[in-house]
Chains A and B, each alone.
Chain A
Amino acid sequence: MTSAEKYVTAAYVVVLAVVLLYVVVYAFKLQRLDREVARLAELARDRHSDTESVEPEREVAETRS
């Protein structure tokens, strides 16, 4: 492999490396968003179950009165 061939290959490898680095950074970002969605879904489920447990108590209290 001549010196020119090595440099040309290096230039194309740099482009590939930048794209791959971007994919890795994006993968980390997706992981973070996935964790965030899971946390919010759990928060929403907790809210939903809290509302459901409060509703029957209120219905019973209203029936008694």
Chain B
Amino acid sequence: MTSLRENRGVVLSAGAAILLLVGTALAFWWVPNDADQGFSQRIFYIHVPAALTAYACFGWGAWKALRLLSTRVDRYDLESYTAIHMGVIFGIVTLATGSIWAKVSWNVWWTWSSRQLVLFLVLFLFYSAYFMLRYSTDPGPRRSRMSAVYALFGVVLIPVSFLAIRLAEDFIHPVVFNRDGPQMDGSMFLTFCVVFAGTLALAGALYVNELTGKRLDRNLRELEEALA
């Protein structure tokens, strides 16, 4: 159990590689063509898991921010920052794949008439601004608390962004998951689950590796100050 915990970066990386390779193979060669969108619907298997993973990363970052504010333990600041960093990376993937899907389905790279798209962009830009806030203040407890409060505010946008399409009824962005469950074939849902597990594992692997790098960086700076 201890070795699993120590090697979680390796385990998550290997798991992500296997799941994403299998998921991509299933998406290209196993699932049937969608009755409405045809072959282009296969972008769904990477676009939606990336968006959900971005939400998960932002949520994780907000949870760590809450832990920082409630316990004042310094390590949660770095963990919250790293999770938001990962969320922004998956946000870029979501916007890029979504844009390609929009081009093939609606013949435009972007449309301002879909509230779902605009709210996701707002969420993405909000968390991108987190880095500007963080690097505009000196390191220390004040910066940690300010960043944590900002990360917590952003988490409010996640349910708004997620529910926007259901509340807005704009009918541009398709709704696959509703109150009756997933509106797709069993093979499609299985492929979606495999790729989603893969993207979550990838986010976990990147989070662990990035956090290790950031801790190493901080420890080296402390060591440098001690030796100076």
Query: Given A4-B104, A19-B202, A44-B227, do A33 and B216 touch, yes or no (CB 8 Å)?
Result: yes
| Binary interface encoding of chain B residues 131-145 relative to chain A, with 1 for a CB under 8 A from any of its CBs, else 0 | 000000000000000
In the assembly, what is the distance between CA of A36 and CA of B100, in Å? 41
Question: Across the interface, do B223 and A40 meet the contact criterion of CB distance under 8 Å?
Answer: yes
B24 sits at the interface (CB 8 A):
yes
B98 nearest in chain A by CB position: A11
Question: Across the interface, do B50 and A15 meet the contact criterion of CB distance under 8 Å?
Answer: yes
> Could you tell me which residues of chain A, from 31 to 58, have a CB within 8 Å of some CB in chain B?
33, 36-37, 40, 43-44, 47
Question: Across the interface, do B89 and A11 meet the contact criterion of CB distance under 8 Å?
Answer: no
- In the bound complex, residues from chain A placing their C-beta under 8 Å from that of B104 are 3-4, 7-8
Of A11, A33, A44, most B-chain CB atoms within 10 Å: A11
B38 sits at the interface (CB 8 A):
yes
- In the bound complex, residues from chain A placing their C-beta under 8 Å from that of B97 are 11, 14-15
**Interface residues on chain A, size class:** 20 to 34
> Interface residues of A: mostly helix, strand, loop or mixed?
helix
Question: Across the interface, do A22 and B42 meet the contact criterion of CB distance under 8 Å?
Answer: no
Number of B residues, CB within 8 Å of A: 30
> Could you tell me which residues of chain A, from 7 to 21, have a CB within 8 Å of some CB in chain B?
7-8, 10-12, 14-15, 18-19
In the assembly, what is the distance between CA of A3 and CA of B107, in Å? 12
| Binary interface encoding of chain B residues 101-124 relative to chain A, with 1 for a CB under 8 A from any of its CBs, else 0 | 101100000000000000000000
In the assembly, what is the distance between CA of A7 and CA of B101, in Å? 7
Query: Given A18-B89, A18-B96, A47-B227, do A11 and B213 touch, yes or no (CB 8 Å)?
Result: no
- In the bound complex, residues from chain B placing their C-beta under 8 Å from that of A37 are 220
In the assembly, what is the distance between CA of A40 and CA of B42, in Å? 51
Q: Give B contacts to A, CB under 8 Å.
A: 24, 28, 38-40, 42-43, 46-47, 50, 89, 92-93, 96-97, 100-101, 103-104, 202, 206, 209-210, 213, 216-217, 220, 223-224, 227
Closest 10 CB pairs of A and B: A7-B104, A4-B40, A4-B39, A11-B43, A11-B97, A11-B100, A14-B96, A8-B42, A36-B220, A43-B227
Q: Give A contacts to B, CB under 8 Å.
A: 2-5, 7-8, 10-12, 14-15, 18-19, 22, 26, 29-30, 33, 36-37, 40, 43-44, 47
